[in-house]
A and B are shown apart, each in its own frame.
Chain A
């Protein structure tokens, strides 16, 4: 069956450091993969999309990599700030699939 794995343990880092979050998937052949941010009690908000033919995508302090051989995506936040503290969700999407499913997310805590 299809599975999306994100580290369920919270990631605690110091302000200014780079945060790296991992998304592993099995039994997917994703045409693309999306990352979302979710604050407590709020709906997820789209951050970045990376396609299967892209190795890396950047947006301001965010960087996403996509390794279809390893079946893994890494999400990096450079120069992290306390305001980056949230839960980050990944969502791989198979070609031709009609619904988007999400990983359970990794909570990031940035300490000032």
Chain B
């Protein structure tokens, strides 16, 4: 079954404690992306990757890091989380959005920073 898997699904953490949200896809997709979703602001793109070792900033990259060492994995790293990073995070993947391919989303990770 085609899947984008995120972990953890729910996390409460404290300000400044580094955390990583993992994302894995089993569809051999080249494109992967992270979004955050906040009430009234919709989905905002944090980072995306067109292929292994290629990453680019999205609209709201501040406070986040990503890496793409393998095709299937695209972890999101919060080096020093702050309360304004409390949000619902989605990982997504696609063959190539520029060619009109479908974007597949994970189930989401609810992150609370206190």
**Interface set of A (CB-CB < 8 Å, partner B):** 8, 31-32, 34, 36, 41-46, 49, 51, 89, 91, 93, 95-105
Contact = CB atoms under 8 A, between A and B. Distances in A.
A42 to B, nearest CB: 7
Q: Which of the listed residues B43, B50, B105 has the most CB atoms from chain A within 10 Å of its own CB?
A: B43
Given A41-B88, A104-B41, A31 B100 contact: yes
Interface in B55-114: 56, 58-59, 88, 90, 92, 94, 97-98, 100, 102-108, 110
B13 interface: no
A96 B98 contact: yes
Interface residues of B, number: 28
B41 A101 contact: no
Nearest to B37: A38
Interface of B: 4, 33, 35, 40-43, 45, 48, 50, 56, 58-59, 88, 90, 92, 94, 97-98, 100, 102-108, 110
A99 B97 contact: yes
Given A31-B100, A34-B103, A98-B56, A43 B48 contact: no
Contact of A97 (B58, B98, B104, B110): B98
Contact of B43 (A44, A45, A96): A44
23 contacts: A32-B100, A34-B103, A41-B88, A41-B110, A43-B90, A43-B105, A43-B108, A45-B105, A46-B103, A46-B104, A49-B100, A89-B42, A93-B98, A95-B98, A98-B50, A99-B48, A100-B97, A101-B45, A101-B59, A102-B42, A102-B43, A104-B42, A104-B43
Given A98-B50, A101-B45, A41 B58 contact: no
A96 B50 CA distance: 13
A89 B43 contact: yes
A51 B43 contact: no
A103 B12 CA distance: 28
Given A99-B58, A102-B42, A51 B100 contact: yes
